[in-house]
Amino acid sequence: MDDEILRYKQRLEERAAQTPIWEKACLTVEEAAVYTGIGRTKLRSMLRQKKCPFSISNSNQVLIVREKFDAYLKGRKRI
């Protein structure tokens, strides 16, 4: 039973790794940096702002909602 669960988890992780960044709903800081060209430090600083409109928290990890982030960036001249 444990082997079956591990194989299933491995298949899910492989599928997630193969999904292009522009098709993902949520991005890690590293993925968002690659996607936008904005540095990881700047992205983390943006995520720490109160009421950040494009972030969600996953217990110990903050993720970036790609569509909201795109809309946020589109409305900005400077970051």
In a domain, 39, yes or no: yes
Give the structural domain span for 66: 21-79
* CATH number (domain holding residue 48): 3.90.105.50
Top pLDDT among 58 and 24 is at: 24
**Average pLDDT score over residue span 1-28:** 85
Residue 58 lies in a domain: yes
Ordered strands of the 55-58 beta sheet: 26-27, 61-65, 55-58
Question: pLDDT tens digit string along 22-41?
Answer: 889 999 999 999 999 999 99
